[in-house]
Amino acid sequence: MPKLSADHRPRTRLVQARRLLAIAQTGLHYATSDFDRERYEEIAGIAHNQIAELASMETGKVAELFSLESGYANPKLDVRCAIFDEVGRILLVREAADGLWSIPGGWANVGLSPAENAAKEAREESGYTVRIERLLAVWDMNKHAHPPSTFHIWKLVFLGATEKAGAIIGSETDSVNFFSLEDLPSLSLGRILPEQIGRLVELYRAGSVDFD
C-alpha cells in the first residue's frame, strides 16, 4: 500500500482527504439523482487531488487505487498474528518488498473469519501452522505513530500457538525468525512499531487485550 512520509506532510490533511473521499463514496452508493451523483463525483475528484499531492502521486493513479472501493465506506481491516516461542521471543517475517520485518499478516480476506485470516497469513508468511488462542489487540492506525497511509486502517492482532513448522508458501516474505525485544531487527513501520511489539509481549504475558 502506498505510504506517505511523516516528516513534512501533515497527517491532518490526509485524514481530511480520506474523510472527504469516504463521504463521496458513500454518497455515490446512495445517490438517486444525476445531480447528486455529479456532486459526489466532484467531491471524489477533489479528494483524489488532495491525496495525490500528499503522496506525490499522479491523480489518475490515486483514482485507480480507489476505483475498486464502492458502497458504504469503511476502514480497511489488517489482520495479524503474534507468535511466541518457549522463551518469550516473538516471531517476525521479513517482507520481500522492502527487506524489513513485521509480524505475519495482511488484509482480511472475504469468506474467512478474522481468526481464520490470522492463521492463514501466519501459515503463508512464516510456514508455521498455528492455533489461534485469543485476541490481543484492536488498534486504529491513526492513533499510533505509523507513517501515514492513504487508507484508514484498523489492525487486529491475534495470539497464535505453533502446532507445526513448515516452509514459507507465499511470495510476500522471504525469511522468518524469533526475536527478543532487546534484539529487534529493522521493522516495517507501516505494519508494526517497536512499541506495539513491546505492548504485545505485555498482553501475552498478562493474558489481557488492548484496544483503541
| pLDDT tens profile 171-190 | 999 999 999 999 999 999 99
Residue partners of 68: CB distance under 8 A and separation at least 6: none
Mean pLDDT in residue range 45-55:
81
Residue partners of 189: CB distance under 8 A and separation at least 6: 100, 145, 146, 147
Residues of the chain with CATH 3.90.79.10: 76-211
Considering the four listed CATH numbers 3.90.79.10, 3.60.20.40, 2.30.29.30, 3.30.70.20, the one that applies to the domain covering 76-211 is 3.90.79.10
Higher pLDDT, 5 or 161: 161
pLDDT band at 68 (very low <50, low <70, confident <90, very high): low
d(CA 190, CA 186): 12
* Separation of CA 201 from chain center: 19
- Residue 114, phi-psi category: left (phi > 0), alpha (psi -120 to 50), beta (remainder): alpha
> Of 70-79, 84-93, 154-163, 194-203, where does mean pLDDT reach its minimum?
70-79
For the chain, the straight-line distance linking the first and the last C-alpha, in angstroms and rounded, comes to: 22
- pLDDT above 90 covers a percentage of the chain that reads 58
pLDDT band at 29 (very low <50, low <70, confident <90, very high): confident
In the chain, the amino acid numbered 79 is: V
**pLDDT at 160 > cutoff 80:** yes
Helix (H, G, I), strand (E, B) or coil at 160: strand
pLDDT score of 8: 43
Higher pLDDT, 87 or 152: 87
pLDDT score of 5: 44
Mean pLDDT in residue range 115-123:
97
pTM for the whole structure: 0.73
Q: Which segments within 65-172 are labelled E, that is strand?
A: 76-83, 90-95, 101-102, 105-107, 129-140, 153-164
Mean pLDDT in residue range 91-115:
95
Higher pLDDT, 27 or 162: 162
φ, ψ of residue 114 in degrees (nearest 5): -55, -45
62 contacts 91 by C-beta, under 8 angstroms: no
Calculate the average pLDDT of the chain.
88
- pLDDT above 70 covers a percentage of the chain that reads 93
Mean pLDDT in residue range 60-87:
84
Mean pLDDT in residue range 135-156:
90
**Which candidate, 86, 112, 75, 39, places its Cα nearest to that of 180?**
86
